[in-house]
Amino acid sequence: MVDTKNTVKLQNGKNMPIFGLGTSQVSKHEARSAVRAALDAGYQQIDTAYNYLNEDAIGEVLQEYIKGGKVKREDLFIVTKLPMIHMDPKLVKRSIEMSLKNLQLQYVDLYLVHLPIPLAYDGNDENVFPTEASGALKVADKTDLIGTWKAVEELVDLGLTKSIGVSNFSISQLERICEIAKYKPVVNQVECNIYLQQKEMFDACKTLGITITAYAPLGSPGRNDLMKEQGESEGLEDPVIQRISHKYGKTPAQILLRFLIQKGTTVIPKSVNPERIRAR
């Protein structure tokens, strides 16, 4: 079972590991290596998404470790997400079934609506970011977040996911969903780090009983140029974080993650470096 000493209890009573491996913008080859390193290091939560186009590679490793007796399925907490092109309620069940086939699993532990922005579906399941001739994303003609949520709720009843939640939703969108929900979202996954502390979101989610999962918890290392334009240094190189890490004998990454964990979030730092994965 999931180690309850290192979990947060979601509002539906399920336990979610505090720490997980993020796999956004990770190639299939990198995903295989990263997930192996994470499982070897004792990680229980693996976070992926249909949009990342690496679910099948992650599924290969999960089956390798499950069938090899290295881990038990019930000891893992696997998260994936509904893509924006499949937000039409009629497409939701088919979409999670596609993800489950890729992951080679009977169910996921948490299924998230990836973004509150339905994109036009042209029948091509691999075209996850359809664009207009201008290059802008092609948004669906109709937006029905309530209808999408009700379809996602049915996945719980079907046993295809243990818990459901959202990602990148605003406070007003969370409140709308909670007003009509049979099963309230247990998680809102948002960018959160020392430069983007999300105080209003924390306050709202506490009131609604929703747990925050922080992605980019190290300060968006992949966006250095943008952050420098804003007068911000990357979190790992921040002089204050450097001083704290020297004082306590921890790595800057450990300090940044501890800051968020103490606020009650779960965190999913992304890395493809086995040494960094082990040094969580």
Task: Mark 124-150 as b/e (b = at least 16 C-beta within 10 Å).
Answer: eeeebebeeeeeeebebeeeebebbbb
pLDDT beyond 80 at 221: no
**Has residue 218 got a pLDDT over 70?**
yes
CATH of domain 4-231+265-278: 3.20.20.100
**Mean pLDDT throughout 101-129?**
96
pLDDT of residue 1: 53
Mean pLDDT (whole number) for 102-106? 98
- pLDDT of the residue at 107: 98
Q: What is the pLDDT of residue 5?
A: 65
Mind listing the pLDDT tens digit for each residue in 137-176?
A: 999 988 899 999 999 999 999 999 999 999 999 999 999 9
227 band by pLDDT with thresholds 50, 70 and 90: very low
Reply yes or no on whether the pLDDT at 79 is more than 50. yes
**Residue 96: alpha-carbon gap to chain centroid:** 15
The CA distance from 211 to 240, in Å, is 28
Question: Residue ranges of the domains in the chain?
Answer: 4-231+265-278
6/39 Cα distance (integer angstroms): 15
With CA atoms as reference, report the closest residue to 270 among 11, 34, 90, 66: 34
Q: What is the pLDDT of residue 3?
A: 56
Q: pLDDT band for 191, please (50, 70, 90 cuts).
A: very high
Q: Average pLDDT, stretch 75-92?
A: 97
DSSP 197-238: --HHHHHHHHHHTPEEEEESTTT-GGGHHHHHHTT---GGG-
Catalytic residues: 52
pLDDT tens-digit series, residues 10-56: 999 999 999 999 999 999 999 999 999 999 999 999 999 999 999 99
Q: Which residues touch 171 (CB under 8 Å, ≥6 apart)? A: 200, 201, 204
